[in-house]
């Protein structure tokens, strides 16, 4: 595995790989690699002849200097993870390599209207301009490739797909399922900043999504009742400060007007000093009416529009696509059915 730090080297080495008829796979990261990143790198290595990762803590997507300063930087460990996962190349540029003249303002930025302005965009003004700018630059440097992004940052994935389409960038964007800890917490580089108590409290994000899924299976359910079920969980936990809990169209991320078609449940909250996000797919074949069985209108998370089939992963890594298809009302297998908030969602359906 090669480590390089200049844009010219990065472009040259990927072009050389393509000259040997190899498909290039790229995994853009900000470092602090965990098993979620490892799964992206392993998939890129499995599906492509040449796998590359970028490690760059992008200052443009942070809304405060303290958040940028506290973001973990673990390059030596990251290189070990990348090599073990099968990466052939790691591009780890300095800030001035990506943004000459920094910290002077970067004169050219990419803005994706609408998709970048709501949800995380509203809570973190400028964040998605930073994401869009660095991703556009990385893909322009990389040339034709398959670029792998995790579904944990679902709004980011939707935004990247849109900018690639609108700017005609020569990249195939591959969405990969969220990887979770055994209790259901989505893996994030920020998790290392959580105390033991905060880590326990952070489980509320995934539990709220499960409560929303369960509520969606109730007769007469609508987006408002699903949102209420998620808020009930998020708002009841100490140390958790909810930001939003939404039901949106899986493609446009517009608020859902009804429970039909391909949807996404999205939540965000601050847990202690750390802002966390999570999401789950919800695919409804037709609006729920009458006394249908609780899961009759729901399709598998494997049908998510940003997912595609992949081999199983080790048992200690839990991608959302491997959640059981049935019994959504008891927590989809990651949180015990005895969890009080899941029982609360079930009682709503039963009218108890």
Active site residue ranges = 37
Written as one string, the DSSP assignment of 21-51 is TPPEEEEEE-S---HHHHHHHHHHHHH-SEE
Sheet strand arrangement including 171-176: 2-4, 89-91, 50-55, 24-29, 145-150, 171-176
Strand ranges for 187-318 from DSSP E = 240-249, 261-271, 274-284
DSSP code of 187? P
If you write DSSP's letter for every residue of 78-123 in order, what string do you get?
HHHHHHHHT-SEEE---HHHHSTTTTSPPS-----TTTTTSTHHHH
Contact by Cβ (8 Å): 6, 53: no
Q: How many residues does the chain have?
A: 352
Closest CA to 335 of 280, 285, 276: 280
């Amino acid at each position: 595995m090669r480590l390089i730090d200049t844009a010219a080297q990065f472009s040259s080495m990927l072009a050389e790989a393509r000259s040997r008829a190899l498909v290039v796979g790229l995994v853009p990261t900000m470092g602090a690699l965990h098993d979620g990143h490892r799964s992206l790198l392993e998939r890129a290595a499995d599906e492509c002849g040449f796998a590359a990762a970028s490690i760059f803590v992008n200052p443009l997507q942070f809304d405060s200097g303290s958040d940028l300063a506290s973001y973990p930087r673990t390059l030596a460990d990251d290189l070990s993870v990348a090599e073990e996962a099968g990466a052939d190349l790691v591009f780890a540029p300095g800030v001035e390599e990506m943004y000459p003249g920094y910290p002077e303002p970067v004169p050219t930025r990419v803005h994706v209207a609408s998709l970048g302005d709501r949800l995380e965009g509203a809570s973190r003004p400028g964040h998605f301009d930073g994401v869009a700018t660095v991703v556009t630059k990385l893909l322009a440097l990389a040339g034709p490739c398959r670029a792998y992004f995790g579904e944990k940052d679902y709004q980011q994935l939707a935004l990247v797909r849109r900018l690639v389409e609108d700017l005609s960038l020569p990249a195939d964007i591959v969405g990969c399922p969220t990887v979770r800890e055994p209790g259901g917490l989505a893996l994030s580089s920020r998790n290392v900043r959580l105390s033991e108590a905060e880590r326990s409290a952070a489980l509320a994000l995934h539990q709220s999504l499960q409560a929303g899924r369960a509520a969606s299976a109730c007769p007469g359910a609508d987006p408002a009742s699903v949102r209420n079920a998620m808020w009930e969980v998020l708002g009841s936990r100490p140390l958790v400060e909810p930001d939003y809990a939404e039901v949106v169209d899986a493609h446009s991320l517009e608020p859902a007007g009804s429970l039909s078609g391909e949807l996404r449940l999205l939540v965000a909250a601050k847990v202690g000093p750390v802002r966390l996000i999570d999401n789950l797919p919800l695919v409804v074949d037709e609006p729920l009416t009458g006394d249908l069985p609780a899961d009759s209108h729901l399709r598998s998370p494997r049908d998510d529009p940003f997912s595609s089939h992949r081999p199983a992963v080790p048992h200690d890594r839990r991608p959302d696509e491997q959640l059981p298809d049935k019994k959504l009302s008891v927590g989809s297998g990651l949180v015990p059915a005895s969890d009080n908030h899941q029982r609360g969602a079930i009682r709503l359906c039963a009218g108890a």
